[in-house]
Structures are given as C-alpha cells and as structure tokens.
Amino acid sequence: MTLKWASLLRRWPGFFSRLPTGPIYQTAANQSTLQAQNSLYTPDHIAIRETLRKIIDTEINPYVDQWEDAGQFPAHKVFKILGNAGILGVNKPTEYGGLGLDFSYSIAIAEELGNIRCSGVPMAIGVQSDMATPALTRFGSDELKRQFLVPTIAGDVVTCLGVSEAGAGSDVASIKTTAVKKGDDYIINGSKMWTTNGCQADWMCLLANTSAGPPHKNKSLICLPMKTPGVQVTKKIEKIGMKSSDTAQIFFEDVRVPSKYLIGEEGMGFTYQMLQFQEERMWGVANVLTPMGNILQETIDYTSQRKVFNQPVLHNQVVHFRLAELATEVELLRSLLYRSVAMYVEGNDVTKLASMAKLKAGRLARELSDSCLQFWGGMGFTDEVLVSRFYRDSRLLSIGAGADEVMLSIICKFMGTLPSKK
C-alpha cells in the first residue's frame, strides 16, 4: 500500500518529529509503557497516539460519565471527530480515505483508545474501524468500498457487525439468517443479537446463509443499509457493563438488497469472518492493555495514601507483591500481542498466537480488576472509581469475539490435541 505523505503531514504536522515529551507520557507508568512499546512502535505511531490522546481528553473523557448514565454515546458525533483526524482508517487504503499504514498503527490506536475512561466507547470505535470493515476492505468491489467504506472511514456513517444470533454465538456456523437470491437482489430473513452500535448504525456487515450447502461454505458477508424496509431494531439490551455502548437485537423481514452488496465471493463469508476475527481479537487485546496499566497506577496511588492500621495499604507485602505480579503479566501479554502483530504485518497466519493473546487478555483483565478492586476497599465497590467500571466492562472480554473456551479450542486445534468430532 502506498503511503500518502501529504495526507499524513496535513493531519499530523509533527508526524516525523521525535516524540513524545507531552505531559501524558510523563508518569512513571507511561514511561515504562513507552519503553516497552519500542519493540513495535516508531515515533510515527506515537505521534498518532498523541493526536488521538488530545481528542480523548477534550472530546470524549469529559462526557463519558454522562454517556454511561444515558446508556448510549453519540456515535455519529464522536465518529465524525475521529474521522476528521484520520483515526478510523489508519490501515485502510488511501484511495478510500485511509492512511495506507499497516495494522500495527491500528493496534497503536486501540491501545490509546484504552485511555477512554470506559470500555464501551472504545469497543464501538473498534467495531467501526477494525471489526466490521476488514473484509470489505480486503475483498469488497471498488463500487462497494466507495459506497460503504469511504463514509465509514470519514466518520460520516456508523457501522455494525451482524454475526451473532440468539441461537448462535460461539458456534458461528450455525447461524440461521438467510439471504436468498431473487433476480438481482438478496431477500434477507432472520435476526441478529448483541449487535454493538446496532441502535445507531447506518449499515451492517451482515453474515447470512446464501445457500443450503455445508455450514462453512454456505455463508456470505453482505453490506446491509439499516434504513432498508424490513430491518427492525427491536430492542436495546440492558447490560451489566459497557453501558455507553448500545447493544441491539435486530430482526429482518423480507429485506431486499441488491446482490452487488455482497462482499467478495458468495459462499466465502465464514472464511472472511474468521479472518476478520483475527484483527478484532488483536485489537481487543491491545485495547485492554492501557486500562490495565492505568488501573494498576491508580491503585498504587490510592493505596500509597490510604492508611490502614497506621500504614499505607500499599506497604503490605501482599499488596505490593500482587501489583508487581499483575504488572509482570501485563507486560507478558504486551509482548505476546506485539509478536503476533509483527508477524501478522509480515503476512503470517497468527491465529494461534492471537487466540492465545485474546484468552490471556480476558483472564488477566478479570484477575487484575478483581485484585485491584479489593485493595480499594469500599471505594472499589462504588461507581466513583475507574476500577469498578473496568471490573464490569472487562468481563465481556472472556465472552465476546469468541469466548475463552472457543480460544482454547482453536489453540488445541493448532496443538493437535482437539479430539475430532464423530
């Protein structure tokens, strides 16, 4: 992919300068993070992160509490701001408005988005940039990309990913939604569940059965405009976490879309979606690294001030040793992620490593948020602190985008230890 230098310079005048010296990198925690990042990130990655950090500080974090209370954030408004800054398509081709950079830049963005003080908004942004659009970018026709990808990267529209159904989450192959060819159109019937951004989306990257063939070869991905007659968003699902991200249940009744809205080849949808999942999973891992670091730091700050039995909570060996252990685990996860990303950027299949990283990220986020919350005492049980929000939000990581058990099955397949189905 060619890099449009002029476009980069326009968006980031300091793109090539040595960075960073800004206040956000001056804490001890951030300096160590930055050093660790050197294995994957160049000053260019860090410049993009700094641009994004300014947007987070001014346009997002001041409103997060309000959006969490409202149970939804204004996706169109926020995406337009991000689109204008070039954040929604860093690894998308320049001819469609992207920056033509490699996937490591998406990972840098995902990490920086972790500085948003909730996980719902970053997840919604990730759906737009790295979950609903990789297949379209890789396999979609030029016409389709101009119609759907260009406005998505620009932040003019909101997108969602329709894979899971009420009866099919882990077992993607068993989805029931159909798209039947009739003349030049597909007629879509069925439903989707758990659709992030579903209440606000303008189009969906939909996985549907386009034939009655074997379940891994009968599926296709289709761009579905959400205003098409017959598309009905029936429910906004209430959740224990990820409050500011809307999650929808959606029904389709005789929804007619032109067959040219098919992404790539008919029957290849399952394969495309599995590929798309790799980016989604690495993105999810990157996104959780920053809040884990932030919560460790905030826990250190709190426990060093909070005195119990005449000494700071932090001075108890059980506390500072536990925090040291968790920090070590975070750095191990970071190393695994960066290795996966570096190999992926070089064109390797990283399904095994990405699945390992996703598994570990889900488990570590649960352990870390639980341990840290404990050290905050009663304060950790309130809505006043980040750790309690992360405790609720991060629980999803072991379930969404492939549950821990699905990751284990994939890893076992690569290890040759998964018993074959009779």
- Could you list the active site residues? 280
- Residues 193-212 contacting ligand FAD, CB under 6 A: 194-196
Taking CB under 6 A as the criterion, the residue among 4, 320, 399, 413 binding ligand FAD is 399
Q: Nearest to residue 302, comparing CAs of 292, 312, 287?
A: 312
Structure tokens at 348: 């390797």
When asked if residue 137 is in the footprint of ligand FAD (CB under 6 A), the reply is no
Write the binding mask 359 to 398 for ligand FAD: x where contact by CB under 6 A, - elsewhere.
Answer: -------------------------------------x--
CB 400, min distance to ligand FAD, A: 4
Which residue from 103, 206, 400, 411 is in contact with ligand FAD, where contact means CB under 6 A? 400
406 touches ligand FAD by CB under 6 A: yes
- 278 lies in the binding site for ligand FAD (CB under 6 A): no
Residue 173 token pair: 């192959």
Is residue 236 near ligand FAD by the rule CB under 6 A? no
Residue type, 245: S
> Six-digit token pair at 382?
């309130």
| Interface pick for ligand FAD out of 55, 242, 313, 368 (rule CB under 6 A) | 242
What is the number of the residue whose Cβ is closest to ligand FAD? Answer: 169
> Is the CB of residue 272 less than 8 Å from the CB of residue 264?
yes
Tell me how far, at minimum, the Cβ of 279 lies from ligand FAD, in Å. Answer: 14
Nearest distance from residue 290's CB to ligand FAD, in Å? 20
Q: Where on the phi/psi map is residue 310: left (φ > 0), alpha (ψ -120 to 50), or beta?
A: left
Let me know: does 326 contact 289? Beta carbons within 8 Å. no
Q: Please tell me the distance from the alpha carbon of residue 383 to that of residue 363, in angstroms, as a whole number.
A: 23
Shortest spacing between CB 25 and ligand FAD, in angstroms: 31
Contact between 174 and ligand FAD per CB under 6 A: no
> CB of residue 394 vs ligand FAD: minimum separation in angstroms?
12
The secondary structure of residue 237, as a DSSP letter, is P
Q: Does 121 bind ligand FAD (CB under 6 A)?
A: no
Cβ proximity to ligand FAD: between 164 and 220 the closer is: 164
For residue 137, which of 97, 197, 87, 93 has the smallest C-alpha distance?
93
Q: What is the DSSP string of 333-399?
A: HHHHHHHHHHHHHTT---HHHHHHHHHHHHHHHHHHHHHHHHHTGGGGGSTTSHHHHHHHHGGGGGT
Contact positions vs ligand FAD (CB under 6 A): 127, 160-164, 169-170, 194-196, 239, 242, 247, 396, 399-401, 403, 405-406, 409
